Chain A
């Protein structure tokens, strides 16, 4: 990428300041100082933007770019120009159409140039029309070949199509095709996504296999920078089949194809400083769904997840997490709709889905649950948590408590049955995998359990996105 220097012939003060190169390689945080050598007070310098160039546009439509960069023309002083340029750069980046974006600011010249006028140039490179990839994944007892194709910026306004197909060794194939259309100029910045998918899941702990085929329509929008909403409609055909001959009859009874239509609203408020290893702030996610507008399953299901973090000492973080779920069946609710609890990502010290009602060793799930966790995170001993590889690791002590109940079957009142608490404690190591997932290796001991529960004291290993 070429760099543009201010011409030295214009020897005025603006030119001198602008003579430095403002090229943002990384999306800078707004908290950070935008310039590295704050020798001159920039907000004193009056400036206005005469002209904005965007170079390298090919497929992307002008109107969307124009409305994005429009903001720049409202700048009044030089600092404002820089901040707004940075904001525009981030907005362009968020459109997901460009590979790299360079920003150059120069004094304006030519006809119509004002004395304090500036010219802002964005140099962009568009992503290629089709991006594809092949990779293989190996899970518990199956190898998968995954083919992925992405078409960014299909219609020139940030729309994208992503398709993924994975073919398993044992004739199970999953695919998903998603089309996304952002509306960056609209209020609340909505993003519309439509997905068609087919997915196979196996749940050996409950003895059944699911084949989901369905469509998902999602509108995501923000009502404040930290508040994120999703309104979804999902229609799916769910084929439940038993895993083996020894599957219990209760699980067998719920097999067969079912159609389900779900209306869902998810709201999350995130005030944490970071998603994986936060040191302060709170996070709340509330999911409510109604199934039964068509289809053979009708129920109301709500779930609340919350997390609070507090830094105790320099690297010592205390985290409290809680989860709560209620399912109200109207008709046709089967095993696959139930809540399940237990396992290395939720109630540690128990087997996956090991808490709550079981039938011949197979978890049948429940209608009500609550769970809580208390963690004390510390960096790995003898290592700083700030730098290098060590920043990916944390050690933690934890205590989990929770309860899952099916009040109809146990013959107890709802509140009564929720008092049968399970408790476990333990310690372990946490590794973060990228931005979204983490891996835990724990030693956990269940302290209190109920007769039906399947506990798994000792070393437990878990991978997942959401942890209690």
Chain B
């Protein structure tokens, strides 16, 4: 369509001229009672990216963020008249404004970075979708409850069913639906191994500064650490120690560069550890800190979810986290 070409190019030209405004807002679902693992990963990734770029933004939570988004996926940012969704277009958008994290990379490194980002979106995102929507235990215990929490009955049920069908359709098209949970976890393990091999014992994937790949990796790792349900344990088990160290490094870098936003990521990092140990305290803490959804039908199941069999190795990992954090 020629008109689309035209408007697209005009938009790129227009937004290249203007610097990054101060009133940029990032829209995402409610973090406490609504957001699901795959969405949480991409929201965290975009937040981390913007923080790594030193771009100011404000997080706004909406129950219908998914429907407001032009691509139907969260998160999206509103920057003046422009609405841009998902990490890759946002990276592109920021680059048009002259802010880029991969300026120092050679073309080959850029190619490699894109490839690794694809690896994450292809394997981790699909695995997260699979676990959230196809795996019946997680679906019943977490996904169903959280996804329908913002809707009145019976709309929540209808909405969850419709969304599940859409996700299953996607996974079928990508031949993920036929896999078993063990195959999925094996894929995740392989993906994590590949990534940690690439990372080695360096701080970042490329050079000594973060890239969009680091942001994406960080988003997924932290979302997995924050996730709940029966499959959270096996998923966390797949995270290697070098990836965990990378996670903490990323937390630290955003913390170091952004003193005003310090509270945000670091409390989150502690929260991972604290929440696992004492769910009661964090529950109250969270409800005071976070805005509640407008039509909230509060789900009480969140806290019960944590108290399942995989506690032992959560604790093990938490210790690991703590140790590393002190090191950092």
Contact = CB atoms under 8 A, between A and B. Distances in A.
A–B direct touch in complex (beta carbons closer than 8 A): yes
Contacts of A245: 70
B294 A331 contact: yes
Contact of B64 (A249, A256, A259): A256
Interface stretch (B104-112, B150-158, B307-315): B150-158
B295 A257 contact: no
B83 interface: yes
B165 interface: no
B67 A241 contact: yes
A257 B159 contact: yes
A296 B295 contact: yes
Interface size grouping (class) on chain B: 10 to 19
Contacts of A282: none
A183 to B, nearest CB: 31
Greatest chain A CB density within 10 A among B63, B67, B154, B158 is at B67
Contacts of B83: 249, 252
Contacts of A253: 62, 64, 68
B68 A256 contact: yes
Interface string A324-351: 0000000110000000000000000000
A253 B295 CA distance: 16
A93 B294 CA distance: 53
B276 interface: no
A241 B64 CA distance: 11
A249 B65 CA distance: 12
Contacts of A237: 155, 158
Interface in A282-340: 294-296, 331-332
A259 to B, nearest CB: 4
A296 B296 CA distance: 10
A241 B71 CA distance: 12
B78 interface: yes
Contacts of A258: 155
A161 B118 CA distance: 55
A257 B162 CA distance: 12
Nearest to A245: B70
Nearest to B65: A256
A68 interface: no
Contact of A296 (B62, B68, B155): B155
Interface residues of A, number: 19
Contacts of A257: 67, 151, 155, 159
B83 to A, nearest CB: 7
Nearest to A295: B152
A257 B151 CA distance: 9
B67 A296 contact: no
A386 to B, nearest CB: 53
A241 B78 CA distance: 18
A255 interface: yes
A237 B157 CA distance: 12
Interface string A240-267: 1110011001001101111100000000
A257 B152 CA distance: 11
A259 B155 contact: yes
Interface string A219-253: 00000000000000000010011100110010011
A249 B24 CA distance: 13
Contacts of A241: 67
A208 to B, nearest CB: 11
Contacts of B158: 237
21 contacts: A237-B155, A240-B67, A241-B67, A245-B70, A246-B7, A249-B83, A252-B68, A253-B62, A255-B64, A255-B68, A256-B63, A256-B66, A256-B67, A256-B68, A257-B67, A259-B155, A294-B152, A295-B152, A296-B152, A296-B155, A296-B295
Interface of B: 7, 62-64, 66-68, 70, 78, 83, 151-152, 154-155, 158-159, 294-295
Given A237-B155, A255-B67, A296-B151, 8 more contacts: A241-B67, A246-B7, A252-B83, A253-B68, A257-B159, A294-B152, A296-B295, A331-B294
- In the A-B complex, the 7 residue pairs with the smallest Cβ-Cβ separation, listed nearest first, are A256-B64, A256-B67, A259-B155, A255-B67, A252-B68, A296-B295, A296-B152
